[in-house]
Structure 1
């Protein structure tokens, strides 16, 4: 049994691995409630760090004390391409659905399941059992696994390269996406180089560190950018230099809501001017507008009288600022105007079709999402020019003359 020992390389990699594990929770905290993009960066950081620790244990001969960890690093490699690709899709505001993500992770899950099964059988069956079919074929799984990993990594490398032209309109995000993609391509190249040269006579042990070095560079890059440009890891928030172009405080401080009665500062009337630095292209905004309308049509979220902008933004996997941009640019309304318009539209149908004896005015208001009659009457009249009672009397065949005034109906 070789004596465990750490050299300069393994010590450096161990320190970088612990740096990655330290950075991961900080990035999650920095992202606040909008974690839909940063979760992939955190997952990559954690997995890269764990693989680095595995390699340190292997090179320093400490792995002999943890035999159950054998080959786990190779299995984790089947998840890296998926995580890099999913993060870039999030940056493009084209999130991959949970069902499709499960398909992407299927190779990792299947390979891990086979590995765990073989390890279990190895513990409960005698060694002679693996010398006859079908268990004799288990060795082919481990012999082919490195090449399967390389093919898997390469396919996602091609997919990531094909995504690059779509970032051209995203300004500063494009630069980060380029660095992020280059880290992955370097990681894939290091794996191919190692696998091709490992059996060659001139192979040097120091070259064995190439894969770990590519992972260490990625961890270092994230650590540096998290300090110098933290907005990159805050779900695409804008840098301060660009935020100065926006004059509304609800953009600068999204957690602060203006109280009723406090005048809003003046903002550019044209949404294209107001959001010219947002990093959300018009064609992407149109896609989000369609998704928003479909979400409201199918799930009728506006029935919740406490519905908030943040809630809808999370359902769409988009920041609250970008959702405001979509509403202003594509639909010409702010959030509360849009929600009230949906409520009034449904209320009109109810008032037209359902008589008072079955559903009175206040019941209609509550059913469509208003929490009081005053706000319902005000929103309804602003939209239709009539009070709910006047609208009902004008549309139903049998007018209700028991109501002496428009506000008498309860």
Structure 2
């Protein structure tokens, strides 16, 4: 039996997925739960790819029941994606007993396949079979949409919690996983649309399969590459973030200017006089010690230097500066970078050198905040103000 190029490529991806899953499962790491959930996610995606390959008519005629059951693994992709993201955020030592309920739709789907086995043996162009498979595909899309949204919500809350504690979040912000969740939502929405067309017009499955197969392969590769890289990253955190403690960060989208950010603690329990004294003390501390020049400065370090608890420091920043710790420190760094930039003695320094000297750990963060404050890029500002 001669295989097509697409089938050969997909089978190659399957082999890589199985190998990565085994490596992740046995890998000794402080993130063992996350690694094993990632392995399960890759296995679910691998099985889904196998089901799409075997959906070719020449395979389906011989292994109809097996192919139908394999297609149900799409109902595991969403749960494993969400549980994997949750494990990266909360760092659990084990899964919760109620997590088993995430697999209930998968078990129900398999049970239904076995009970209604004869209906799945109808000819491939039979209208009843097309309707049945379209309903199954629509249910799968709804599952992916639901878990994709839950994952994005979890990661957004996690990112907001980081802004209250860290000034360098590039390595721990999990932006790659947010992009993966967004891609899952896009594919799920597309799949829902295709299956609605099939329900309405009896559209056969083959055209949709050749759209879903390469998209699923691309998604699989993205999860495999970035997930394996993530498994090698150890988060350097002195204590649990507010996301780990179950706190729900507030706040909305970032405005265009740091100085206009609304306070997060609208009803602070901190005495106004004490808050004002702490704010003045913080200002003097930053001027004399220049702690913002430390690239890895964290909120607990600054709180100790100020002699207060982390929550107290966060309240002071939100009530007096109207911004989070992340924005406050990077605002000071932007001002330091501006000072260095217009100093004639620094004419030979590159913008990257200036960013590093000001305490930034990445040029992208420097560019973002500089433009947010001065409404122009660092290079534009330097050209205009350099003597």
**Residue by residue, what CA displacement relative to the aligned partner does 1:62-106 show, whole Å, maximum 9, x if unpaired?**
333323313123321222111111111111106595332122221
Partner of 2:140: 149
Quote how far apart the aligned CAs of 1:157 are: 2.2
Query: 1:32 and 1:12 mapped to 2: Cα distance?
Result: 31
In structure 2, relative to structure 1, the CA distance for the partners of 1:106 and 1:146 (3 Å cut) is same
2: CA distance between counterparts of 1:12 and 1:157? 27
Query: Cα offset for 1:206?
Result: 5.6
Q: Does the alignment pair 1:100 with 2:98?
A: yes
Q: CA contact under 8 A between 1:10 and 1:59: conserved in structure 2?
A: no
- Residues 1:40 and 2:31 aligned together: no
| Corresponding residue for residue 319 of structure 2 | none
Per-residue deviation, 1:284: 4.7
Q: For the residues of structure 2 that align with 1:77 and 1:58, how far apart are their CA atoms?
A: 14
**For the residues of structure 1 that align with 2:129 and 2:96, how far apart are their CA atoms?**
32
Tell me the secondary structure at the aligned position of residue 58 of structure 1.
coil
| SS in structure 1 of the partner of residue 61 of structure 2 | helix
Kindly indicate whether residue 99 of structure 2 is the aligned counterpart of residue 83 of structure 1: no
| C-alpha distance in structure 1 between counterparts of 2:75 and 2:193, whole Å | 18
Which residue pairs with 2:378 in the alignment?
Answer: none
SS in 2 for 1:61: helix
Give the alignment of 1:331-350 within 5 angstroms.
Answer: none
Question: With structure 1 as the length reference, what TM-score do the two structures score?
Answer: 0.48
SS across alignment from 2:90? coil
Distance 1:147 1:13, change over 3 A: same
1:161-200 superposed matches below 5 A: 161-168=152-159, 169=162, 171-173=170-172, 174-198=174-198
Q: CA RMSD in A?
A: 4.0
Is 1:67 equivalent to 2:64 in the alignment?
yes
1:203-241 deviation line (CA, Å, top 9, x unaligned) = 9956532322232123322443367x3xx114x514xxx
Picking from 2, 8, 26, the partner of 2:5 is: 8
Alignment: residue pair count: 233
C-alpha distance in 2, partners of 1:211/1:139? 17
Q: Is the 8 A contact 1:75 1:112 kept in 2?
A: yes
Which structure ranks higher in relative contact order (CA pairs < 8 Å, sequence separation ≥ 6)? Answer: 2
Conservation of the 8 A alpha-carbon contact between 1:190 and 1:214: no
Structure 1 residues without counterparts, runs of 5 or longer: 128-136, 239-276, 289-324, 330-410
Gapped runs of 5+ residues in structure 2?
A: 123-127, 163-168, 248-299, 305-387
What secondary structure sits across from 1:71 in the alignment?
Answer: helix
Partners in 1 of 2:203 and 2:49 — Cα distance? Answer: 25
Query: Quick one: distance in 2 between partners of 1:80 and 1:202?
Result: 25
What SS does the corresponding residue of 1:119 show, helix, strand or coil? coil
Deviations 1:235-294 (A, max 9, x none): x514xxxxxxxxxxxxxxxxxxxxxxxxxxxxxxxxxxxxxx428654256569xxxxxx
Does structure 1 conserve the Cα–Cα contact (< 8 Å) formed by 2:14 and 2:46?
yes
Superposed displacement of residue 23, structure 1:
1.5
**Could you tell me which residue of structure 1 aligns to residue 329 of structure 2?**
none
Distance 1:138 1:202 in 2: 11
Contact 2:10-2:217 within 8 A present in 1 as well: yes
Shift in CA distance, 15/280, structure 1 to aligned 2, threshold 3 Å? farther
**1:233 matches 2:223:** no
In structure 2, which of residues 234, 237, 245 is the aligned counterpart of residue 278 of structure 1? 237
1:78–1:152 CA contact under 8 A, matched in 2? yes
Larger Rg: 1
- Give, in whole Å, the separation in 2 of the partners of 1:200 and 1:285: 48
Structure 1's 175 and 31: CA in aligned 2 closer, same or farther, altered over 3 A?
farther
Structure 1's 192 and 159: CA in aligned 2 closer, same or farther, altered over 3 A? same
In the superposition, relative to structure 1, how do residues 14 and 279 fare at CA in structure 2: closer, same or farther (>3 Å)?
A: farther
